[in-house]
Structure 1
Amino acid sequence: MKYTYLGRSGLRVSKLCLGTMNFGVDTEEKEAFRIMDEALDSGINFFDTANIYGWGDNAGRTEEIIGKWFQQGDGKRERTVLATKMYGDMHDDNDGPNGSPGLSAYKIRRHLEGSLKRLQTDHIELYQMHHVDRNVNWSELWRAFETAQLQGKIGYVGSSNFAGWDIAVAQGEAKARGMLGLVSEQHKYNLLCRLPELEVLPASQALGLGVIPWSPLDGGLLAGNHRRKSEGGRRSSDEKRLEKHRKQLEEYAKFCDELGEPEDLVSLAWLLANPAVTAPIIGARTLDQFKRSLKALDVELDESAMKRIDEIFPGPGGDAPRAYSW
């Protein structure tokens, strides 16, 4: 297994991150246990979740499954670098008006305690803001995060779905308080979504954040879905996106055939080759899907392959400074 540092922190994590969004939804508990067992056995130590996973009235279910798995012992908790997120509505009547989506010192304290209870642990390595809340003062947030760190309940703080300038403001405020600040940004980034290359990736690199891409296969579009016939259960929005990108995807499929590698593994390998990326999130629903994704670590893309991929899926205009030059 390949490992890297989580941003400018001293924490080492695997180059692939196990995403648990499907646990308790599309993936039943026993299968989730098998996937997590296989992850640790394969050397993947970085697990990502969120307090709202399970969704709606079932919010928290995914964290509960992970907590039950930790309780099996055998060093499972000790060997796991655990990341979770907060921001959303946990559908807890006791939250009252403070349960609505957003950030606050109240939510950091109360929702952190809820996650710790469900996860059956006393600490979380990486505590992430699931979205930005520009109505809240950073002094309030950093004070709350600092308190949680001093109590030993969280190790590091990360962001998710932040714009480049949100990252810059957060880091400036943290520096003024003498804090490390953010160590990671979780962002949608893949071959069909390269806009983060303009600001989010350069800002993250310059300010010491590791990038954790979510939806690395863009809902399956980069995994060969266009080769399959339309399925009755597929959403119309998925069909529209597939048709919009069909020409690119067919060209990409042909290129991957020439490489002798499947599209999904090439898509992951392309992300792994980016020095700004810490670890793409693998959101496998089954053990077989998870095992397949591990093979991406063995796919090497040379300069000519990377150039060809850029031709098929052009970036947003090159490096940010040049893109903004006239």
Structure 2
Amino acid sequence: MYDTADVYGRSRKGWTEETIGRWFASRPEAREQVVLATKVYGAVGDGPNEKGLSAYRIRAQIEASLRRLQTDRVDLYQFHHIDRSVQWEEIWQAIDTLVTQGKVVYSGSSNFPGWGIARANEHAIRRGSFGLVSEQSIYSLLNRNIELEVIPAAQQYGLGVIPWSPLGGGLLGGVLGDKPTTGRRSSERIAAGVEKHRPQLERYEAFAAKRGVAPAVLGLAWVLRQPGVTGPIIGPRTSSQLEDAVAALEVELDETDLATLDEIFPGPGGPAPEAYSW
């Protein structure tokens, strides 16, 4: 799956979609081999209709995304954030029209709370609409909040869970001892994260070494092992990072391994409400 959004871009919003579109144009046969996903919600301009999930915005933005992507359809059109100012009847009316027109195949959510998934799909059920098929959430050993309600809601409604930032923004990729000069690891945010989680990261990297796998491979293998997860979003910058991601598919974690990782990075204690009421 190729995942992008209308607001992604190194130099300007839409740049990433344009890059994918040029790639499709140079390899027309590749389009049928790719599950293409993009998102709508974020502001692409300063006007009142250039942000959110109104029917007008959804219809206008899918046309803009299709032009940039140089394709006739988006396989997974995701709501990048919940929009509390728009009713779901309006959102699903717009999506149903796009599905009928063949411009969207499936729709999904991103960064939704559990109640947001439930509300969206209950409205879809009442309309006879297909509803959400996936939820893309931040999820890693360092951030396990979605285990409380998002994952249970996704499983209840049959959604696949697509974790983003599965390596904690790079912190689980093997950062101790590095001397970064450029890129994400050189940022103050990464440095602060290392200091905040240093004891955990030391134990984690030692465990990865004991298991004989790279820290990044271990982090991805753990995410893949979690209930409801269909596949994490990765953003490799080098061929070696891509090889690490693929290698995670071959790593088997037994119950002892999982218990060790739970001890290093404790989760919320299970799904809600058991995690906080029993």
The aligned amino acid for 1:115 is S
Instruction: Specify the alignment match of 1:51 in structure 2.
Output: 6
Instruction: Specify the alignment match of 1:65 in structure 2.
Output: 19
Residue 219 (structure 1) shift? 1.3
Q: Map residues 233-248 of structure 1 onto 2, 5 A cutoff.
A: 234-248=186-200
Q: Deviations over 1:7-42 (max 9, x none)?
A: xxxxxxxxxxxxxxxxxxxxxxxxxxxxxxxxxxxx
Q: How many residues align?
A: 276
Specify which structure has the bigger relative contact order, considering alpha-carbon pairs within 8 angstroms and separated by 6 or more residues: 1
2:169 alignment partner, one of 219, 223, 235: 219
Do the aligned residues in 1 keep the contact of 2:223 with 2:229 (CA within 8 Å)? yes
Instruction: Specify the alignment match of 2:252 in structure 1.
Output: 300
Instruction: Specify the alignment match of 2:81 in structure 1.
Output: 131
What's the TM-score once normalised by structure 1's chain length?
0.81
Residue 86 (structure 1) shift? 1.0
Distance in 1 (CA, whole Å) between partners of 2:241 and 2:276 is 40
Is 1:258 the counterpart of 2:258? The answer is no
Distance in 2 (CA, whole Å) between partners of 1:117 and 1:230 is 38
Cα RMSD (Å): 1.5
Instruction: Specify the alignment match of 2:96 in structure 1.
Output: 146
Moved over 6 A (4+): none
Distance in 1 (CA, whole Å) between partners of 2:28 and 2:90 is 39
Further displaced range: 228-237 or 125-134: 228-237
Distance in 1 (CA, whole Å) between partners of 2:84 and 2:251 is 40
1:274 alignment partner, one of 196, 205, 226: 226
Residue 180 (structure 1) shift? 1.6
Q: Map residues 187-198 of structure 1 onto 2, 5 A cutoff.
A: 187-198=137-148
CA gap 1:258/1:64 in 2 versus in 1, 3 angstroms:
same
Residue 210 (structure 1) shift? 0.5
Residue 292 (structure 1) shift? 2.6
The aligned amino acid for 1:159 is S
What's the TM-score once normalised by structure 2's chain length?
0.95
Gaps of 5+ in 2: none
Distance in 1 (CA, whole Å) between partners of 2:55 and 2:146 is 29
SS state of the match for residue 176, structure 2? helix
Q: Map residues 196-207 of structure 1 onto 2, 5 A cutoff.
A: 196-207=146-157
Instruction: Specify the alignment match of 2:158 in structure 1.
Output: 208
Residue 232 (structure 1) shift? 7.6
2:262 alignment partner, one of 301, 310, 320: 310
Distance in 2 (CA, whole Å) between partners of 1:237 and 1:80 is 34
Q: Deviations over 1:225-275 (max 9, x none)?
A: 123246587232322221110000000111111101111001000011113
SS state of the match for residue 125, structure 2? helix
Residue 74 (structure 1) shift? 5.3
Instruction: Specify the alignment match of 1:172 in structure 2.
Output: 122
Gaps of 5+ in 1: 1-45
Is 1:156 the counterpart of 2:106? The answer is yes
1:83 alignment partner, one of 17, 32, 37: 37
SS state of the match for residue 125, structure 1? strand
The aligned amino acid for 1:176 is R
Instruction: Specify the alignment match of 1:97 in structure 2.
Output: 48
Distance in 1 (CA, whole Å) between partners of 2:92 and 2:147 is 27
